Amino acid sequence: MIIAIDGPAASGKGTLGKRLAKHYGYRHLDTGVIYRAVAKAMLDVGADLTNEVLAVSAALELDPEKFGDPALKTQAVGDAA
Note whether residue 9 is domain-resident: no
Segment 29-66, tens digit of pLDDT = 888 899 999 999 999 999 999 999 999 999 999 999 99
CB contact at 8 A, 31 and 72 = no
pTM for this model (two decimals): 0.79
Note whether residue 4 is domain-resident: no
Q: What gap in Å lies between CA 72 and CA 81, rounded to an integer? A: 10
Note whether residue 16 is domain-resident: no
Note whether residue 39 is domain-resident: yes
Structural domain of 74: 31-80
* pLDDT at position 1: 82
* pLDDT at position 78: 92
Determine whether 47 is exposed, middle or buried from the number of CB atoms within 10 Å of its CB (0-12, 13-18, 19+). Answer: middle
Note whether residue 22 is domain-resident: no
Residue 9 has pLDDT above 90, yes or no: no
| Number of domains the chain contains | 1
What lies within 8 Å, CB to CB, of 20 at 6+ separation is 3, 5, 26
Q: What is the share, in percent, of the chain residues with pLDDT greater than 90?
A: 79
Rg (Cα) of the chain, in Å, rounded?
Answer: 14
* pLDDT at position 58: 96
Note whether residue 50 is domain-resident: yes
Note whether residue 18 is domain-resident: no
